[in-house]
Amino acid sequence: MIQTEVDNLKVNDFIVNPATSQLQKRENFYKLIILVLQIISVSTIIILVAVISIMVWFGSPMFAYPDRLLQMVTENKWFPEDHFEDGEYGALAAIAGTFMVGIPALILSIIWGVGLAIFLSEYTRESIARKIQPAVEFVASVPSVIFGMIAFTYFFSWFSEFFTQEWIRGIMLFFGYKVEVIPKGTYLAAAVALAFMTTPIIASISLDAMRSTPLMLRNSAKAFGATKWEIFKTVVYPHSKKTIFASILLGFGRAIGETMVVLMVLGNAPVLKLDLLVNGMTMTSVISGYWGEASEGSSLQAALFVLGLLLLSITAIVVYLASLITSENKAVFRFVDVLLKPFNYIGDGLGSMAQRFMQELELTEMQIAKMSKRRKLANIIIGVLLGTILLSFILAVYVSIGRFLISGMDYFFAPGETSSMYRINVTLRGDPKNTFVRLGLIGLFTAITGTISIVTMSAAISFPVATITGIYLSEFAPEGRLTIWIRQSIININAIPSIVVGLFVYALFSVGLNMGAGILPGSIALSIMMIPIITTNTIEALNNIPSHHMSSAIALGATRWEAFWKHKFPYALPNIFTGYLLGSARVSGETAPLLFTAATFTPPATPIPTNLTHQAIRVLPYEIYYRLLYTTTRVNGEKVGSDWAVAASVVLMLFVLTLTVAGYFVRTIIRRRYAYNGEI
Amino acid sequence: MSKQKTEIKEFNTPEEFYRKYLKIREEHRSKGFENQFPNFSDKETEVEFRNFHIAYEEKPWTLYNIDLKIPKNKIVAIIGPSGCGKSTLLRSINRMNEEMAKIRTQGEILIEGENIYSPKVNKMRLRTQVGMVFQKPQPFPRSIYENIAFGPKLHGIKKKEQLDRIVESSLQSVGLFEEIEGRLDDHAYGLSGGQQQRLCIARTIAVRPQIILADEPASALDPKSTYQIEDLLLKLKEDFTVVIVTHNMQQAARISDYSIFMYNGVVVEYDKTENIFEKPVYELTENYISGRFG
């Protein structure tokens, strides 16, 4: 404790008088730091430019054959040969199929996503909504292979049960559609699985926008006696519509770029037919499906790169449209407004149309009473409708996932000849007595260690880059062209389909820099997926911390960096850290970018790869995919592949779940240590 | 004393307003009014504004032609309606404006005869000379000790005993040391609003400035805490020069020695506080003080 010889203490006993050289040093350090931040942030621009130019470069052999390019988008003949002169490269079925999956998925996820966002922001108390929200957001971190597995395992039987019922047949026939034999794997099944994945994106972005409606606006609408639905319609919707529509476009971009679900579910059949209950293919499934046949430098490979480029351009257009919608440009704003006008009247049909009509008449008190009754009724009906939408989503997703996991658990724990311990042991270590080393019966242990090593490595690459970019953008970037470019790059990298990332890393690192397939190119691919996630999260975490602490520190003579480092960064750390773990959870289930760059089925000699390059590794999601589609081994007449895939899915789910839960857990722990209890 | 009634009507920019103001001032002078700003000798002067202009980004001047002297060891209050540039004027003394947006300036602000906007001046050193207290109590979410030690540590004081003594003397001079009874390691958020604001003043004192700028330091506090803060400022006047922005007329009248009345980015009147409040020269000042607008 401090000595109390205080009586003679005077204010000016200690003069704080920093030496000029000291100040100069601190200032130079600040300048240096900013320079470093800037240089590292610029790497995001480099990534984007590199992706685009490599795709163009590797697709360029095909540009010499304009007729082939034309054929690609106009014909449905896909018979690639060694040379462009011989083969056929019509990928119309795949291009059409991309939208045949994307659009139904989009419609479904609009209904689910926007519906449950409205319900959670308007019809539920915020404390309750905040409890339901994680359940919705968790769906976003469920790996796409798992949804592929679910769709593959259940949707076929569910759909054929559903569509073969007489009354459904009758209704369908009434609309001129004759239900025939439903194949295993349809556009509809893929679309539903994709909608599971895009709904959380749309829901959480829309919900944030709706919540940010100024309380004053809400309250004044309330003061006029508006019902919940009317508050939404008159105040919340106009305020948040741009973001809602941007989020829908982002969800659409994600849906058409998704690979694993369509690869596992659609059956990769070149069917060109406007029908959702048939087999089909998409651009992503063609790229990944035909990749095995494409030798290096072949015309097929160039064609696949061109297809990837086409996919990239489609998603880029979608992102551009989204940015147009949210832009401040007045002409665009007006255009969007006109475009969205029909949506403003969606709710009007239910009762409030009558209200408009009655406003024109002279109203007696009776009529007013009647009218308000009708408005209240409309409010309740819409509330129930939205609640049903929320419930249907939660039920559909969690019943599917739950059933799937339970069946996976059965694999381990159901009574049988062998004990559970034995089965778990075999799943992890493999069956020492069994000679089917190639297929199925290799233990998952090396796949788990492979996943852990590749995620760790991509974390090591992407966390510094992404965190620094986030810090730079949110605190230090001057308003200017460079900053805008960096921002746009991050948005665009986020929208690059995962399969295109795989193609890019294959072309530049595996072939160009001769790394082959291995953990380094694989984790570079995952890093590209992770950088935008972590950057966005870092920016958000920093924006949540009030800036007045920094101002106070600056007023005490700190440089901007010192103020940030001491009095903003530590307070944002819990949320930044959570972002790390959630980002890792997200990419640990990524499969598509690893198909060409890292993954193999052959068991490695050591659990952790010894070489960074030229040593392909096993990873869990690839294991699931491979086992499901390529395993034909039968043990005692049973096809073991899909069972083993289910077992691997359970392990992957546990992995992802652990990371996610750890994310929230770590956040609470760090929050306690660096307690920031101030008003946010 | 009969007052000259002069209307100052609509104007757009501080620049246009200043032209009108000049005319009115000349009129007043020709009629024999004493409307010079107070003048101080170099020894008495702490801050001198010399034809100082400031603007944010490419917008027109926010402050136009500020030309006045702030005396040492006095409390100077800046009053005026919202948006007249009070806070901008205050923040331009420790160059905090440029931390919030891009600025351009014209003219000079002299502290100890040196223009603080000259490129030679180190902003960080300037801010150790000119401390600032903000509107809301904003202690760092750290312990009381760390809150105060942050500034001195930043500027190279590393010895524990020295830091201890600085923390102690700073807390003493704001009268907080006895109140917290040595619980220096407690979280600053455990203090009451008034205590937090005094902690912020102590934090500012800890780097030993000559000038303390206070931007409505009591506007977020209850009357009792407000009174304590006012009392404290009056005490601090012995060691520091205090410049305070306030919306509270009574507060300005109670504690300040001099008052600056600003309107639309221009200093309209600057005089001893009792003169401003009892016999303002301009009608605009009188209207504001009597609460006819604000």
Give the span between the Cα atoms of B172 and B152, in whole angstroms.
Answer: 16
Write out pLDDT tens, residues B264-276: 899 999 999 998 9
CB-CB contact of B244 with B214 (8 Å): yes
CB contact under 8 A, B239 and A11: yes
| Mean pLDDT (whole number) for B10-18 | 79
Give the span between the Cα atoms of B70 and B257, in whole angstroms.
Answer: 11
Whether residue A448 is found in the same domain as residue A397: no
Is A42 strand, coil or helix?
Answer: helix
Q: What is the pLDDT of residue A647?
A: 83
Residue to substitute from A548, A549, A552, A569, interface B, most B β-carbons within 10 A? A552
- A82 in a domain, yes or no? no
CB contact under 8 A, B141 and A571: yes
Half-sphere exposure (CA, 13 Å, Cβ side) for A185?
A: 19
- A176 in a domain, yes or no? yes
Whether residue A189 is found in the same domain as residue A110: yes
Q: Which domain holds residue A254?
A: 93-414
CB contact under 8 A, A549 and B140: yes
Q: What is the pLDDT of residue A68?
A: 86
Q: Give the nearest partner residue to B168 out of A2, A26, A27, using CB atoms.
A: A2
Domain count, chain A: 2
Q: Show the domains of chain B with their CATH numbers.
A: 14-289 (3.40.50.300)
Residue A352 has pLDDT above 90, yes or no: no
Query: How far is the alpha carbon of B260 from chain A, nearest alpha carbon, in Å?
Result: 23
Q: What is the pLDDT of residue A192?
A: 94
- A352 in a domain, yes or no? yes
- A248 in a domain, yes or no? yes
CB-CB contact of B294 with B81 (8 Å): yes
- Per CB-CB distance under 8 Å, the chain B contacts of A22 are 155-156
Least confident among A130-134, A438-442, A504-508, B226-230? A438-442
Give the span between the Cα atoms of A295 and A101, in whole angstroms.
Answer: 29
| Mean pLDDT (whole number) for A252-259 | 91
Residue A6 has pLDDT above 60, yes or no: no
Write out pLDDT tens, residues B91-103: 999 999 988 888 9
Domain of residue A103, CATH code? 1.10.3720.10
Whether residue A150 is found in the same domain as residue A237: yes
Higher pLDDT, A6 or A229: A229
Residue to substitute from B114, B150, B161, interface A, most A β-carbons within 10 A? B150
pLDDT band at residue A51 under the 50/70/90 scheme? very high
Q: What is the pLDDT of residue A14?
A: 56
Whether residue A236 is found in the same domain as residue A344: yes
Whether residue A547 is found in the same domain as residue A521: yes
Percent of chain A residues topping a pLDDT of 90: 40
Residue A661 has pLDDT above 90, yes or no: no
Query: How far is the alpha carbon of A3 from chain B, nearest alpha carbon, in Å?
Result: 9
Least confident among A265-279, A378-392, A513-527? A265-279
- Per CB-CB distance under 8 Å, the chain B contacts of A548 are 134, 136, 138
Q: What is the pLDDT of residue A16?
A: 67
pLDDT band at residue B159 under the 50/70/90 scheme? confident
For the residues of A614-679, what is the DSSP string, one character each? Answer: S--B--HHHHHHHHHHH---EETTEE-HHHHHHHHHHHHHHHHHHHHHHHHHHHHHHHHHT---S-
Whether residue A55 is found in the same domain as residue A109: no
Whether residue A244 is found in the same domain as residue A141: yes
Give the span between the Cα atoms of A520 and A458, in whole angstroms.
Answer: 8
- A569 in a domain, yes or no? yes
Residues in chain A: 680
Least confident among A364-368, A511-515, B166-170? A364-368
Whether residue A376 is found in the same domain as residue A434: no
Least confident among A426-440, A620-634, B23-37, B137-151? A426-440
- Per CB-CB distance under 8 Å, the chain B contacts of A12 are 208, 239
Whether residue A410 is found in the same domain as residue A438: no
Whether residue A444 is found in the same domain as residue A400: no
- A647 in a domain, yes or no? yes
Whether residue A270 is found in the same domain as residue A403: yes
Q: DSSP secondary-structure letter at B2?
A: P
pLDDT band at residue A15 under the 50/70/90 scheme? low
Q: What is the pLDDT of residue A205?
A: 92
Asked which of A353, A379, A414 is the last residue of a domain, the reply is A414
Q: Which of B133, B60, B136 is nearest to B96 (CA)?
A: B133
Residue type (1 letter), A559: T
Write out pLDDT tens, residues B187-229: 888 899 999 999 999 999 998 899 999 999 988 889 999 999 9
Asked which of A414, A446, A469 is the last residue of a domain, the reply is A414
CB contact under 8 A, B239 and A12: yes
> Which chain A residue has its CA at the smallest distance from B155's CA?
A18
Distance between terminal CA atoms of chain B? Answer: 25
| Mean pLDDT (whole number) for B253-269 | 92
| Mean pLDDT (whole number) for A355-367 | 58
Residue A212 has pLDDT above 50, yes or no: yes
Give the span between the Cα atoms of A575 and A567, in whole angstroms.
Answer: 15
Higher pLDDT, A576 or A438: A576
Q: What is the pLDDT of residue A418?
A: 76
Q: What is the pLDDT of residue A350?
A: 47
Residue A498 has pLDDT above 90, yes or no: yes
For the residues of A101-123, what is the DSSP string, one character each? Answer: HHHHHHHHHHHHHHHHHHIIIII
Helix (H) or strand (E) holding A467: helix A445-471
β-strand partners of B106: B53
Q: Hey, what long-range contacts does A383-392 have (CB within 8 A, 24 or more apart)?
A: A383/A119, A383/A123, A383/A228, A383/A229, A385/A115, A386/A115, A386/A116, A386/A118, A386/A119, A386/A123, A387/A119, A387/A123, A389/A111, A389/A112, A389/A115, A389/A116, A389/A119, A390/A115, A390/A116, A390/A119, A390/A120, A390/A132, A392/A112
Give the span between the Cα atoms of A569 and A323, in whole angstroms.
Answer: 29
Query: How far is the alpha carbon of A564 from chain B, nearest alpha carbon, in Å?
Result: 12
- A11 in a domain, yes or no? no
CB contact under 8 A, B151 and A16: yes
Whether residue A376 is found in the same domain as residue A510: no
CB contact under 8 A, A548 and B124: no
Q: What is the pLDDT of residue B2?
A: 42
Write out pLDDT tens, residues A327-345: 766 676 676 666 656 555 5
Asked which of A386, A414, A442 is the last residue of a domain, the reply is A414
- A8 in a domain, yes or no? no
